[in-house]
Amino acid sequence: MSLYTIMPEEYIFPTDEKQYVNQKVIEMNGVSMMVEKSEDQYRIIRLLSTDPEHYLSEEYCPGTMIALSQDMIRA
């Protein structure tokens, strides 16, 4: 069986689900991304977009802290 995905193997076949408890998939300004809750903000973990322009934008760089409202989270 072949599985073609942009998600890492550890996320599809997790061994320890506790590490993913604070992670959510959101869409911000039309860009899908995975974020992790960190105190009162979210940190971008990875982009899930297929548009190469999104990867060139400093606004969506992994590690960037963003403030989100609850209506932006699509989990």
What does the mean pLDDT of the chain come to? 82
Does pLDDT of 11 surpass 70? yes
Can you say whether the dihedral through the CA atoms of 67, 70, 22, 28 is positive or negative?
negative
Alpha-carbon gap, residue 39 to 10, rounded angstroms: 24
Q: Which amino acid is at 29?
A: N
pLDDT tens digits, one per residue of 18-35:
666 788 888 888 899 999
| pLDDT for 35 | 92
β-bridge partners, 44: 35
